[in-house]
């Protein structure tokens, strides 16, 4: 199986000790924070397919749509991984708007990827507070620490990113979490967020994730998301980025952060705990 960007992202988002997404049980009903986690992971899978040349964005009447390319089915390609194969099949069902695909590809991914990582070693499975639910605290933090060190090197020390680290930074920037997965350092959080946002320029899957986050926030505000909690006012805007040359428009990173405010709080708490350990 491939080592997925979405897996690294989930390791960064899960609380190492509690094994959940922002206090809520990631294996339980679709609460607001879990739906936000699904969107982030759906965006990661879409970006992975794009980097592999397995999908492409094309113009369509009234907007844009994502389609599968012949490269998706090449021997030794993305279909050799069960998660990516399922994603290709989902995309291949019909051309769809990229924002819609983020939600479709992310459905059920937190639990599915956590179970896969538990099989591979970085996580372990424990029973959740509700019968039939599970949590995934860290068993081996070496892979997570490696991803965090790579982000630190790029976003704090200014190193040139490799493709994988650029993808992680772009996805985190899309939902305003780049500064939350790193411990406090010599660079202000606002500057870390700005640097991450600059790495998302031209990345249409990250733009789709950002728009999906905005939609989810709007649904939460309207009370349409099962189990959703009230979303507080967004952080002050520090930067706005134009993504994909206007294909999907301009989205403020700080607004998207409102969708995952609870998730961000859990990450900040985890970062503080790690710094104290």
Task: Decide: 179 and 189 in contact? Cβ < 8 Å.
Answer: yes
Q: What's the longest Cα–Cα distance across the chain?
A: 54
Handedness of CA 36, 110, 168, 2 (dihedral sign): negative
Percent of the chain surpassing pLDDT 70: 74
Q: So what's the pLDDT on residue 134?
A: 85
Q: Whose CA is closest to 154, among 187, 177, 122, 176?
A: 187
Residue 165 φ/ψ region, left for φ over 0, alpha for ψ in the -120 to 50 degree band, beta for the rest: alpha
Residues 6+ apart with CB under 8 A from 196: 155, 169, 170, 172, 173, 178, 179
pTM: 0.79
Residue where the block lists tokens 């926030």: 217
State the Cα–Cα distance between residues 106 and 10, nearest whole angstrom.
Answer: 12
pLDDT per position as a tens digit, 182-233: 999 999 999 999 999 999 999 999 999 999 988 887 776 654 443 332 222 2
Four-point Cα dihedral 189, 263, 126, 31, nearest 10: -170
Domain 5-269 has CATH 1.10.720: no
- Compute the mean pLDDT over every residue in the chain, rounded to the nearest whole number: 78
pLDDT per position as a tens digit, 141-159: 999 999 999 999 999 999 9
């Amino acid at each position: 199986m491939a080592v997925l960007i979405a897996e690294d992202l989930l390791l960064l988002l899960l609380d190492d000790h509690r094994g959940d997404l922002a206090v809520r049980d990631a294996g339980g009903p679709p609460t607001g924070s879990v739906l936000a986690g699904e969107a982030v992971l759906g965006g990661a899978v879409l970006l992975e397919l794009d980097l592999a040349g397995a999908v492409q964005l094309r113009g369509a009447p009234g907007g844009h749509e994502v389609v599968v390319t012949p490269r998706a089915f090449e021997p030794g390609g993305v279909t050799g991984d069960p998660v990516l194969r399922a994603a290709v099949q989902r995309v291949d069902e019909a051309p769809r708007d990229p924002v819609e695909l983020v939600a479709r590809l992310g459905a059920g991914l937190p639990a599915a990827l956590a179970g896969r990582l538990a099989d591979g070693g970085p996580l372990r499975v424990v029973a959740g507070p509700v019968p039939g639910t599970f949590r995934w605290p860290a068993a081996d933090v070496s892979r997570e620490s490696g991803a965090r060190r790579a982000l630190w090197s790029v976003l704090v020390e200014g190193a040139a990113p490799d493709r994988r680290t650029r993808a992680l930074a772009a996805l985190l920037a899309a939902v305003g979490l780049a500064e939350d997965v790193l411990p406090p350092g010599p660079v202000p959080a606002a500057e870390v967020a700005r640097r991450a946002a600059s790495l998302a320029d031209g990345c249409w899957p990250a733009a789709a994730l950002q728009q999906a986050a905005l939609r989810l926030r709007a649904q939460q505000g309207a009370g349409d998301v099962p189990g959703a909690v009230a979303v507080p006012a967004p952080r002050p805007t520090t930067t706005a980025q134009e993504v994909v040359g206007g294909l999907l428009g301009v989205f403020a990173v700080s607004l998207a952060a409102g969708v995952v405010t609870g998730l961000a709080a859990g990450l900040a708490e985890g970062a503080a705990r790690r710094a104290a350990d």
